[in-house]
Amino acid sequence: MIILGINDGFEAGAAVIKNGKIVSAINEERISRIKLHQGHMHGWPYASVREAMRLAKVTPDDIDLIAVAGIVDPPIPARLAGYFGWNSGKKKRVEIKAGAGKLKRIAYNWFSDQRSNSITGKTSITLIKPIYRKFLKKLNLDGIKTIFIDHHMCHSSAAYYTSGLKRALVVTMDGHGDGLSGTIRTYDNGKLIETIAVTPSKNSIGWFYSQVTHVLGFKMHRHEGKITGLAAYGNPDTNYSAFEKAVQADTSKLQTINNLGHKYDGVIKLRKITKGMRREDVAAAAQRRFEEVITQIISAAVKRTGISDVALAGGCFANVKLNQRIIELPNVKSIFIHPHMGDGGLAVGAALACYGKEASKPKTYKLNDVYFGTSFTNEQIETELKKSNKKYEYIKDIEKVIAEKLAEGKIIGRFNGRGEYGPRALGNRSILADPTDSTINDWLNKRLNRTEFMPFAPSCLDTHAKKYFINYKRAEYPARFMTITFDCTKEAETCPAVVHVDKTARPQIVSEKQNKSYYKTLKAWKKESGLGMFINTSFNMHEEPILQTPHDAVRAFNKGAVDLLAIGNYLVEK
């Protein structure tokens, strides 16, 4: 069974699933070069649909089903705007700001509350189906059965079917989608057993974290990770009682409660609560409360169901510190976070939801890797290099040379193989550096125009993970994808550039089976330095998506992001 998944909303994109396994997945942002490309703002995902099909080597005749993520979300007016290009040419996100007119906020809040099974949901499907037929016809996909899947069912399915678990407790939490901000479900033997709890959008703890992000001067839906990094520098006890009142856990209903209200209304209230507080203290208090509320809900759900293997998806679980707190719960045996936990994973989730419903005996599986994007041959790479007028050299054992240059203190951009699925660069579109320089967080972040307090993450040999990270074995699977933090050992502190101020790190654990070339690079680095890990940060220019093409890599190199570019088997110098 071949299923094409499509997300035309936030972080638009497409994926192809064959017999329950991901064979290709790519977000529109990688091609359009507009970070977090939104279908309703920047145009529907024509390019990613075509590329996902090309990568999967399928034609329209091969596709059995098309699964579309979202029923009420995006709202029908927004979907129409995206399809007809009413927002064409606008690069920036349109937001209803806290000071916007009351009528706009009411409209936004109303659409946010509408669920898939509501009259609004049914009407949305009726209105959007003719538009979708036109969209699919332009891609020569008309006539194929098309199913629209609820937002949180997409998240649940992405988490469960890539967890490798037979029986699992599946938790989703995010800002909102199709009227909900969270769900808790049980699955067994490949099938959904029961939805035991749902949280309405108005009580979104994801909104709470976005509200904090906005109040501290960062962008909602883009910079929440900065709050996590900033929190380690603050005192969470400052005015903490106000945060305890702001968001709470209802463990009887297994729901979060956001007393600040809807997203933009809550911003106004939160400004009053945090007036006079240092931004570090706001971040610290928000992070602590975020962790406390969600872990209370998950612990209660485990106790109620008796299921201690937990699979997670939704934007809240992009918070790597939260994920560490979940695995530390005494009644949780294991956790898995879908690598593209946010809305960028909805296309995969929609396709897997259809697979779960349509297949007679659906099965889960474990991801070996998430290199589901585009690759380029050495010949294609050299064609681009010739245009650049840069000095370059073909090197057969490029991994050895990368390690040698790292030992010389060079910052290296690595572009190789298929692009990564998800928000993390995992060695194929990465910037690499020596982790022993304690000052690098300051000067390299400035060089890359990034926030100075954001920590760098390490890529680490699987053979050395226990040496550097405490409790690693309990979260070995999610650690492949850089989705969880661990407390660090004393040995890890010999690499201060990848140990955050709170003595944690967010590693990517690399095996030879996952990525042969990247593993070889780490092994060569171990031989050069005696260390089993180095810095890995995403290879992209500030506020741009991770690189997609050799042209993107050369452009970033020309702008001074790195000292050397190792692209395929070529080493490029200034």
CATH of the domain at 383: 3.90.870.20
Output the pLDDT for position 140: 97
| Residue ranges, the chain, pLDDT below 50 | 90-100
Q: Residues with Cβ < 8 Å from 295, sequence gap 6 or more? A: 322, 325, 326, 329
Q: Residues with Cβ < 8 Å from 313, sequence gap 6 or more? A: 155, 156, 158, 159, 170, 172, 337, 338, 341, 345, 349
Output the pLDDT for position 203: 96
Does 218 lie in the same domain as 144?
Answer: no
CB 233 within 8 A of CB 284: yes
Does 29 lie in the same domain as 131?
Answer: yes
Residue 158 within any structural domain of the chain: no
Nearest one of 348, 317, 363 to 478, comparing CA atoms: 317
Output the pLDDT for position 247: 97
Does 496 lie in the same domain as 529?
Answer: yes
Does 77 lie in the same domain as 53?
Answer: yes
Output the pLDDT for position 229: 93
DSSP assignment, residue 254?
T
| Stated pTM of the model | 0.95
On average, the pLDDT of the chain sits at 94
DSSP assignment, residue 239?
T
Does 354 lie in the same domain as 301?
Answer: no
Does 409 lie in the same domain as 503?
Answer: yes
Does 236 lie in the same domain as 177?
Answer: yes
Residue 342 within any structural domain of the chain: no
Residue 327 within any structural domain of the chain: yes
Residue 81 within any structural domain of the chain: yes
Does 180 lie in the same domain as 147?
Answer: no
The count of domains in the chain is 3
Distance CA 349, CA 236 (A): 36
Residue 365 within any structural domain of the chain: no
What's the domain range around 470?
A: 378-573
Residue 466 within any structural domain of the chain: yes
Does 387 lie in the same domain as 271?
Answer: no
Does 519 lie in the same domain as 397?
Answer: yes
Tokens 């010999």 identify what position? 494
Is the bond leading into 330 cis (omega within 30 degrees of zero)? no
Residue 367 within any structural domain of the chain: no
CB 169 within 8 A of CB 301: yes
Query: For residue 478, how far is the Cα from the chain centroid?
Result: 13
Nearest one of 155, 297, 295, 277 to 212, comparing CA atoms: 277
Output the pLDDT for position 88: 59
Does 286 lie in the same domain as 236?
Answer: yes
> Looking at 337, 367, 393, which one is the last position of a domain?
337
Does 437 lie in the same domain as 553?
Answer: yes
Output the pLDDT for position 262: 81
Nearest one of 563, 572, 570, 573 to 434, comparing CA atoms: 563
CATH of the domain at 46: 3.30.420.40
Residue 532 within any structural domain of the chain: yes
